[in-house]
Amino acid sequence: MNISIIGRKVKITPDVRKYIEKNMKKLDHYAEHIYDFKLIIKKERHIYFAEVNINVKKKMIHIFAKTADIFSVIDTLYDKIEVKMFRYRDKLTTKRVIPLKESVTERGVQPDTLQSLQETG
């Protein structure tokens, strides 16, 4: 996973960088899906804006947050990231195809009768 942190009109201090890395631990269980993580923090008129672009398989996730404090904007952003990544992972797991043997037994047809139908047909 490639991680880049960019500050526009804001200096990313070591304290802010540590805080971001601490919050990155929330995303450890989604790490296999994330290819690229780009965090941009900027300041305009005493308001901090944070946006993140997450590159996952066949999709780009864009999340945006703004508050008056740099640490609260990071918290807000990571809460939104957790929700979006949970939805993304849930979509991946619900679209899995059920194997033939499991789908046949769920419908009430026994595998033995299925084999006899395949041999005669």
Contact (Cβ atoms closer than 8 angstroms) between residue 52 and residue 38: yes
pLDDT in single tens digits along all 121 residues of the chain: 788 999 999 999 999 999 999 998 888 888 788 889 999 999 999 999 999 999 988 889 999 999 999 999 999 999 999 999 889 888 888 866 666 665 555 556 555 655 655 565 5
DSSP 68: S
CB of 37 within 8 A of CB of 52? yes
pTM: 0.71
Q: How many CB atoms lie within 10 A of CB 80?
A: 15
Position 58 scores a pLDDT of 83
Structural domains in the chain, CATH included, are 2-120 (3.30.160.100)
